[in-house]
Amino acid sequence: MKNNITLSEITKLFEEWDNILILTHANPDADTLGSAFAIKYSYPEKSIDVCCADSVPQRLSFITKGNDTSLCEKEYDHIISVDCAELHLMGEAGKKYAFETELKIDHHRTSTEFAKYNYADEKCGSCGEIIYDILDKANRINLQSAEALYAAIASDTGSFKFSNTRPSTHIKAAALMEKGIDFVKINTILFENKSKSEISALKVAVNSLEYYYGGRVAVVGFSNELKTENSIDDDALASVNSLPREIEGVELGIVIKEKSAKQGEFKVSMRSGESVDCSEICAKLGGGGHIRASGASVRAENLDAAKDIIIKAVSECIEK
Ligand SMILES: [Mn+2]
């Protein structure tokens, strides 16, 4: 991660440039969208398009405000990427444009230098915090861009709860509140609106919960049959990934989900506390990931058979 441009220099480019395309990462979240649209809303007099390879989730439409985010075959003078650590994360759709990225702004530790100008700061909990600094230097933040930035920052810090939240994060959020944003509405949309499908996923998760090793390991599972019976869509399943790990005394939480398109293939998500390296367990299953969060894929006849395979891998790694 090497920067070859400063925040002040980026501010200068923002002030000078026009006819701009901003690329977000695929499967867009509130940080990548909020960062992109904050730039667009801060320069209403300029021609700025935002493109996402995938469609924007309905609940985040308060950020895009009806603007088209599909790729338009236009010629642009400048291309900016936000919240993308690597080129391929922008997805297939924008490939042609992604290769021409002139300015990259990002906050991931794994950020690579694929643009002409590269700026990344891993100390920032969200890309929105960096965009805040750039726009603030130009005195450009208005009500619309303040809402987009607040959504970006609140979302990537888990509502100011994650360890990536710093005192300066709160100072920026406070400054955005001073602009008169409806932060109650934003927080409700981001953190409190659970879909019926997510509640059904929660119900099935709780019903299927099993403990192993005296309560140190917790497992929940979803077969395709359970998903169909309870009208659970795949998006909703992501909301229970951390649930078993959040139970008191649990050091390893495991969520098993049968893949909708592939009967007999199970996706395994693991989350662990200090004492367990779940990437080691997932590696035994042919997967991998981080020490505290990893995943793998298992083939088995049914959910119970998949559970047996996974628990066997656990038993080889966890201290009895
Ligand atoms: Mn981000």
pLDDT at residue number 279? 86
Q: Which residues pair with 132 in a beta bridge?
A: none
Q: Is the pLDDT of residue 15 over 80?
A: yes
Q: Per the structure block, which two tokens stand in for 230?
A: 């309870």
pLDDT at residue number 96? 80
Ligand 1 centroid–CA 54 distance in Å is 16
Q: Per the structure block, which two tokens stand in for 311?
A: 């628990």
Ligand 1 centroid–CA 149 distance in Å is 12
Q: Is 196-317 the same fold as 7-192?
A: no
Ligand 1 centroid–CA 30 distance in Å is 8
Ligand 1 centroid–CA 166 distance in Å is 15
pLDDT at residue number 149? 98
Ligand 1 centroid–CA 107 distance in Å is 7
pLDDT at residue number 262? 85
Ligand 1 centroid–CA 42 distance in Å is 20
pLDDT tens digit sequence for 258-316: 998 888 999 999 999 888 998 899 999 998 877 788 889 999 999 999 999 999 999 99
Strand blocks (E) in the chain:
20-23, 48-51, 78-82, 103-106, 117-120, 210-212, 217-222, 252-258, 265-272, 288-289, 293-299
pLDDT at residue number 95? 79
95 Cβ neighbours under 8 A, 6+ residues apart = none
Q: Sketch the domain layout of the chain as residue ranges.
A: 7-192, 196-317
Q: Per the structure block, which two tokens stand in for 249?
A: 């005394």
pTM of the model: 0.79
Ion ligand 1 nearby residues (CB, 5 A): 31, 83, 127, 156
Ligand 1 centroid–CA 135 distance in Å is 17
How would you write 98-119 as a 3-class SS string?
HCCCCEEEECCCCCCCCCCEEE
pLDDT at residue number 91? 84
Higher pLDDT, residue 139 or 108: 139
| 22: nearest Cα among 10, 31, 11, 35 | 35
> Average pLDDT in the 214-235 region?
94
Query: Would you say domain 196-317 falls under CATH 3.10.310.30?
Result: yes
pLDDT at residue number 27? 83
Percent of the chain with pLDDT over 90: 76
182 Cβ neighbours under 8 A, 6+ residues apart = 147
Distance CA 186, CA 14 (A): 27
pLDDT tens digit sequence for 61-107: 999 999 999 987 889 999 999 999 888 888 876 778 999 999 999 99
> Average pLDDT in the 173-184 region?
98
Q: Which residues pair with 80 in a beta bridge?
A: 22, 103
pLDDT tens digit sequence for 38-52: 999 999 999 999 999
CA dihedral 229, 233, 238, 243 (to 10 degrees): -20
Fold for 7-192, please state it.
inorganic pyrophosphatase (n-terminal core) (3.90.1640)
Please identify which residue in the block is written with the tokens 């609940």. Answer: 59
The confidence band for 221, taking pLDDT boundaries of 50, 70 and 90, is very high
Ligand 1 centroid–CA 290 distance in Å is 17
> Average pLDDT in the 145-165 region?
94
Ligand 1 centroid–CA 134 distance in Å is 16
Higher pLDDT, residue 119 or 233: 119
Ligand 1 centroid–CA 314 distance in Å is 32
Ligand 1 centroid–CA 34 distance in Å is 10
Ligand 1 centroid–CA 161 distance in Å is 15
Ligand 1 centroid–CA 67 distance in Å is 21
Q: Are 11 and 138 in contact (CB under 8 A)?
A: yes
> Average pLDDT in the 190-203 region?
92
Phi, psi at 171, each rounded to 5°? -65, -40
Best mean pLDDT range from 20-29, 71-80, 146-155: 146-155
Q: Is the pLDDT of residue 320 over 70?
A: no
pLDDT at residue number 2? 87
Ligand 1 centroid–CA 310 distance in Å is 31
